[in-house]
Amino acid sequence: MSKIIEVRGLSKSYIINHEGKESYTALRDVIAQKAKKIFSFPNWKSTNKTQEEFWALKDIDFDIEQGDRVGIIGRNGAGKSTLLKILSRITEPTNGSIKIKGRIASLLEVGTGFHPELSGRENIYLNGAILGMSRTEIKKHFDAIVDFAEVERFLDTPVKRYSSGMYVRLAFAVAAHLEPEILIVDEVLAVGDAQFQKKCLGKMEDVSKNEGRTVLFVSHNMGVVSQLCTSAILLNKGKIDFNGKVASVVDKYLRNQSATNDFAYNESIKGLKPNFIDSIKIKNTEQQYISSFSFDQHIVIEFCCKINNYTPDLLIGIGMQDKSNSRVFTVVKEIDFFMDNSTDQFRGELTLPKSLFAPNMYSFVFALWTKMGVIHDVAENVCIISIHDNGTSLAAFEGADYGSVIINPNWKSI
């Protein structure tokens, strides 16, 4: 296959201004600052300002082949969206070169490329024209776009009256059906409902496999990335940390997340929620707070909940999920079990059995809710851990997907 994207030495920097902090600000200082803003001249400069050069991307090199489905992953601030904006020619790079063969359709933010005053019908033709397609070509795909987006009833309504979900449905349908050689999709699909997301993933896979188009996809959902993509690029602080087969890249990303996890979930929500999950930590039976466990080790979950508004039917639920976000188990316990009448803190531990969970990466979900279904607090994808094989009968197949649990059945020869 031929290279459709070649990136060499790509860098992007921004200048960040910082205002100097004052230890004490009197009313007269506030009035003076307001007056200064009103009567200031362009050549006046603040002596309190400092500037910092921030590199969102630094010396990025990679190639993408025609027909590849490439996932771009990394933590928030890693440079994923900046990279897509540069590839989409929305932002100019500071340094480096990019060679792109073919037309690009980008879906980066809700409403990107749509004129709010124009109707859905008019925006379809507008986007097609931007991609360099003739009216005849757009008309050929028009019915398929409308059918896929499921917005026929609102086709002649200005898109400024569309919901965010309708925006995304129409924008994706346009991007996928107007035959660009490269389709770039950011996290924007998360706005749509689950059924439409599945529909979009199927379409992206179809245009790549059957039509030879290239897909670049950004998501924080590793299950979706693993399902859709054939390869992936892991960004970390503006640089490529790893580039290769999707399974290997996702595994490295999750391991990095696990290594930097402090095993404490503590949101600044005091005063906002009367009952909430204050902290969660993972440890072994030797009371060591760790993230990597061997197959034959117990996993101990230590948690603390703040209960300021006690209700007798309050429950705590704990679930484990694999790296594809599929649930492995869920357990529920009445919060009364952990009651301490001397404080508003409800502390508890849960010990998971050893030699049960298959070597892999896992995370946890915690929830506080009542038997009537009223949710008080939820903590999702917290405390990522890894379980490694230390000599099971499947050790030779490490890395293969053989499920989430390993059982020891009673074998019998008959």
User: Quick check: pTM over 0.85?
Assistant: no
CA 13 to centroid of chain Cα atoms = 23
Which CATH number fits the domain 275-397, given the four candidates 3.50.50.60, 2.70.50.60, 2.60.40.10, 3.30.70.1020? Answer: 2.70.50.60
Domain covering 55-259: architecture: 3-Layer(aba) Sandwich (3.40)
Q: What are phi and psi of 398, to 5 degrees?
A: -55, 135
pLDDT at position 96 is 93
pLDDT at position 239 is 93
What residue ranges of the chain are covered by domains with CATH 3.40.50.300?
A: 55-259
Mean pLDDT of the region 344-348 = 88
Q: What are phi and psi of 305, to 5 degrees?
A: -120, 140
User: 10 Å Cβ neighbour count for 323?
Assistant: 20
Q: Which residue has the higher pLDDT, 393 or 219?
A: 219
Cα separation, 157 vs 150, whole angstroms: 14
What residue ranges of the chain are covered by domains with CATH 2.70.50.60?
A: 275-397
142-151 burial, b if ≥16 CB within 10 A, otherwise e? beebbebbeb
Cα separation, 84 vs 87, whole angstroms: 5
The overall average pLDDT reported for the chain is: 82
pLDDT at position 23 is 53
pLDDT tens figures, 291-323? 888 888 899 999 998 888 888 889 999 999 988
Task: Name 177's Cβ contacts closer than 8 Å, sequence gap at least 6.
Answer: 141, 144, 145, 148
